[in-house]
Chain A
Amino acid sequence: MSARESGLGGNAQQKLLAFASLIVLVIGFSLASPNFFQVSNIMAILQATSVNGVLAVGVTLIIITGGIDLSIGTLMTFCAVMTGVVLTWLGMPLPLGVLTAVGTGALCGFVSGGLVARMKIPPFIATLGMMLVLKGLSLIVTGTKPIYFNDTPGFTTIAQGSLIGQIIPLPVPNGVLVLFIVAGVAAWILGRTVLGRYTFALGSNEEAVRLSGVNTEFWKIAIYTLAGAICGIAGLLIASRLNSAQPALGLGYELEAIAAVVIGGTSLSGGRGTILGTLIGALIMSVLTNGLRVLSVAPEWQTVVTGAIIIVAVYADQMRRRGRS
């Protein structure tokens, strides 16, 4: 593995640049508005990053294999809904709800992986199908009404509480803690384990991996399952954040997550990417959204600026690659 393919590390120069642009955004917004660089607003930004960040980490794994997963947004919702079913409707204890979210995600990821790896349906189509199926299932299970978690004490603290705030006087929400733990584990898997190695290898040359005697179907399904489980964690976070499972939510989240991944320098054609990049990408997205709002930029223009930034970021990345090779 060359350095840029490892997990949290990666090409120092690229990461520095990405990180630098994040810092410049933060400084720029701070100078533009005194209300931006306040503890409460920074925490709001981090909180807003947590769900999209976790989703982006999950889909990073799949994109590195050269695949794509469009179902992550509605899968997240479906996991939240199933958690609601277990906790609110069946009145089970909290840990079982957490398990349900992760388990539902893993199961759906397993199905997507099977469609892609075993039945050879192109990932775009397979996960597009899953996206709609899961959206429908969420509406069916809930009868289209949100499920609230008022009967489960402590549920909202999963995303909204602050363990860190009890240790140091900085109320970092638990959702953010969860994001960093998920990212750390994913980076470790990518950089240090067989699963991670095959993730890159599949994206680099799948047929060569198969002809090396590797059971590519198994590993591909494993990666989709892992990504699904991570979506389950995102489902848990958003449910805890909203104190409810909103069945209509979810469409569009996949594109935001993919945008964060791409801004982070992961190649959509596979074989290349880092979790740290994705993390920075997700932060750039939410700093931008929040900053433009704090500056009271008209919402129409917020969308234009965000779109332009995505294009500029990917273009800059392309230029850098071309310059190097």
Chain B
Amino acid sequence: MFTRRTLLGAVAALSLMTGATGAVAQDKLYVPLISKGFQHQFWQAVKVGADKAGAELGVEVTFEGPDNESQVDKQIDMLAAALAKKPAAIGFAALDSQAAIPLLKQAQEANIPVIAFDSGVDSDIPLATASTDNLAAAALAADKMAELIGGEGKVAVVAHDQTSRTGVDRRDGFVNRIKESHPNIEVVTIEYGGGDHLKSTEITKAILTANPDIKGIFGTNEGSAIGVVNGVKESGAKVVVVGYDSGKAQKDAIREGVMAGAITQNPVGIGYETVKAAVAAAKGETVEKNIDTGFYWYDKTNIDNPEISAVLYD
């Protein structure tokens, strides 16, 4: 299997890593964040906020998450590895709350405080939750959509998934507000593209083909929104696109006018507040149960306002 040389190589590689991580000094508080992903710009922005808080408060922060949001068991393994490191507190954004309960109980028994973030954890073990109110944010998107299409006509939703809390809340927040407050608008279809740019593009084109008279499409996260923009561009239709989150492509689309506007959460704030609450909890201070990290509507007119650009990411 392995030759002696590769074994030596492995040992050398390991010792290098040890050197690199030797900075994890014992006297510093250590707070790992287990997120739902790490590749999307959104999570990278959360990480920026977490690192910022870590630097300000003088604690060691690490950040990781599975490759995609269906890998529930991978996330559980990450949580297990994080617990093994005996941290001061843990930040956790559960893909599936139930699945994590045994480990969360383990954390509780070891007196490691848990702070939930993003979509939170469905349990009373976390001392606090730092998150966006997705229902309210998607409702704002619905109001803006109604305003932009003149209060009547057909709209569609391209959602990122049908199982996660954020997917469900953003879809329901949008659809319910349309039903309640905008009776002349009809949601003709809700499709799921897994937050994948390409899949969402194909879905959008299919929606446009099936409903040539459609007036607006809402994409529920970064990948979905960009997919919608691409699909609209490729089929050359005139449709009001409303997005969610930010990222370079979405910002460009708004500047170009292809996208009318988008809801942004405050990912930097989420990361920052999570670490702040975690450190407070680790020191035995009381923390607020629900930390609302806020959301904003942004479009061409306010995209460069300092207040907005601070929470947008590329």
Contacts and interface: CB of A to CB of B under 8 A. Distances in A.
Contacts of A289: 77
The SS class assigned to the A binding surface is helix
B57 interface: no
B2 A312 contact: yes
Contact of A238 (B6, B70, B73, B161): B73
A28 B14 contact: yes
Nearest to A298: B64
B297 interface: no
A313 B77 contact: no
B162 interface: yes
A156 B14 contact: no
Contacts, number: 152
B24 A296 contact: yes
A141 B185 CA distance: 31
Interface residues of A, number: 63
A205 interface: no
Interface string A3-44: 000000000001001101100110011011101101011001
B80 A248 contact: no
B21 interface: yes
A258 B12 CA distance: 27
Nearest to A256: B74
B82 A24 contact: no
Interface stretch (A60-68, A96-104, A181-189, A239-247): A239-247
B3 A293 contact: no
B96 A25 contact: no
B10 A28 contact: yes
Interface string B1-29: 11100110111011101101100100000
Contacts of A286: 77
B27 to A, nearest CB: 15
Interface string B240-252: 0000000000000
Interface string A76-106: 0000000000000000000000000000000
B88 interface: no
Interface stretch (A143-151, A191-199, A209-217): A143-151
Interface in B134-156: none
Contacts of B76: 241-242
Interface in B285-299: none
Interface string B68-85: 011111001110111111
Instruction: Count chain B CB atoms within 10 A of each CB in A146, A150, A160 and give the residue with the most.
Output: A146
Interface residues on B, range: 35 or more
A218 B288 CA distance: 65
Interface stretch (B98-106, B227-235, B301-309): B98-106
Interface string A250-289: 1110000000000101000000000000001000001001
A192 B76 CA distance: 38
A150 B82 CA distance: 26
Given A242-B72, A243-B98, A248-B70, A295 B3 contact: no
B84 A319 contact: no
B72 A44 contact: no
Interface string A285-325: 01001101111111110000100010011001101100000
A44 B163 contact: no
B45 to A, nearest CB: 16
Contacts of A112: none
A296 B73 contact: no
Contacts of A150: 98
B310 to A, nearest CB: 26
A100 to B, nearest CB: 20
Contact of A35 (B13, B67, B71, B86): B86
B79 to A, nearest CB: 9
Contacts of A18: 1-2
Given A29-B14, A44-B84, 17 more contacts: A17-B2, A35-B85, A41-B80, A44-B81, A51-B73, A146-B163, A241-B76, A243-B99, A244-B99, A246-B70, A246-B99, A248-B161, A293-B82, A305-B13, A313-B1, A316-B6, A317-B1
Closest 10 CB pairs of A and B: A18-B1, A242-B99, A41-B84, A28-B14, A44-B80, A293-B81, A21-B2, A248-B70, A32-B18, A144-B162
Interface of B: 1-3, 6-7, 9-11, 13-15, 17-18, 20-21, 24, 32, 38, 62, 64-65, 67, 69-73, 76-78, 80-86, 96, 98-99, 101-102, 106, 161-163, 192
